Structure 1
Amino acid sequence: MTTKNYTFFLLTGEPGVGKTTLTKKLSTEISSKGIQTTGFFTEEVRKGRSREGFDVVTLDGTRGRLARDQSLLTEPIKYKVGKYGVLIQEFENVALPSLIKPDTTQPHLLVIDEIGKMEFFSDSFKTAIRTIFSPSSNCVVLATIPVRRSDQLIESIRNHNLAKVWMVTRENRNTIHNEILKEINTTLNFM
């Protein structure tokens, strides 16, 4: 019996369930084995108990603002999600360079946390995502996507024949790590 080799590993689940934490843990373990990892995480920005917005942080530590509570912004904002103004240019300046696959024949993991509504206000990001998930792509990707059905491009990624999707819940977030790691390592070892 032949097992299917996936190249796109997707985590989905409700907001706040632990997708980013799990993604960080997986990417840290993979990079500790000498596998090159690039990409970015999206992190909450809090002041005390209050969430002020979100930052985009690359795996090498470069940080920029993705969104802020509109009450904290002085400039007019074109794109909004709830109470947050999305800072497209700052997001693109940090996130887009981290998505360029290194010119290497060595195994590589691209981490994208997250492919979602705020990020999709960027046409340049959407174009990069189309390329990364295209039939001619040779990327191995660990990404997070929204649990709710949304943008057509996100749905095409969710249903891609080379994608394996895990639903992260409060009940399984501490136990599915090894299963996901095993799948990713299997793919990276074939490269």
Structure 2
Amino acid sequence: MKKFRFFVSGMPGVGKTTLAKRIADEIKREGFKVGGIITQEIRSGARRSGFRVIALDTGEIGRLAYVGQGYPRLGRYVIDVESFEKVAIPAISRALREGDLIVIDEIGPMEFKSNEFLKALGLVLRSEKPLLATVHRRFVERYRPLGEYYWLTPENREAVFSEILVKIKELLRENENAGNKAQD
């Protein structure tokens, strides 16, 4: 099991994105570089009308999906592959080159409509960079063997947050110390 990869899954609305964002923010506060993407709901009043993707390092925003007409589709959503790729692919590439931690929220069916995302994800998974990824529940079995896996619930949210945060901090400090020793 790869000890530098952390995969989080759970039911919709349980807090996967919030957990990923909280960990990214904490790691940044420690002085490490965090890159990658976060996806967020777009709401019109009480109704979800789509999803946006946000680059963690620049804050750039793109549209992942919206309710409307067009292709490719996933349920009632049209996937805006071009807008998604314009933000997500450079953000993931920068994280691979410059980041201490890569965050990918989410590995899921909407994102899989992008061949470029699949290529970028493959590069991330072949790298030795620490990774925190949220995984759609349909893809759990595909990613479980590739790292440490957590099923998030309202009851264990804080414990999972704390456990992953501690492990990532330890890993990044070890990497930092190894890098400092190599420079000596």
1:23 to 6, 14, 20: 20
Kindly state the Cα deviation for residue 176 of structure 1 after the two structures are TM-superposed. Answer: 2.0
Query: Which residue does 1:159 correspond to in 2?
Result: 145
C-alpha contact (below 8 Å) 2:96/2:102 kept by paired residues: no
Does residue 8 (structure 1) correspond to residue 5 (structure 2)? The answer is: yes
Query: Could you say what secondary structure the match of 2:154 adopts?
Result: coil
C-alpha contact (below 8 Å) 1:5/1:187 kept by paired residues: no
Query: Which residue does 2:60 correspond to in 1?
Result: 62
Report the residue type matching 1:117 in the other structure: P
Q: TM-score, normalised to structure 2's length?
A: 0.88
Cα distance per residue 1:28-53 (max 9 Å; x no partner): 00010000001110000001101110
Query: Which residue does 1:143 correspond to in 2?
Result: 133
Does residue 168 (structure 1) correspond to residue 152 (structure 2)? The answer is: yes
Q: 1:49 to 1:146 in 2, by over 3 A?
A: same
Q: After alignment, is 114-123 or 94-103 more displaced?
A: 94-103
Which protein has the bigger helix share?
2
Cα distance per residue 1:67-103 (max 9 Å; x no partner): 0011xx5xxx221111100000000000000011364
CA RMSD of aligned residues (A): 1.7
Q: 1:149 to 1:38 in 2, by over 3 A?
A: closer
Runs of 4+ in 1 over 3 A off after TM superposition: 101-104
Q: Which runs of 5+ in 1 are unaligned?
A: none
**Paired-residue identity, %:** 37
Query: Which residue does 1:95 correspond to in 2?
Result: 88
Query: Could you say what secondary structure the match of 1:114 adopts?
Result: strand
Report the residue type matching 1:45 in the other structure: I
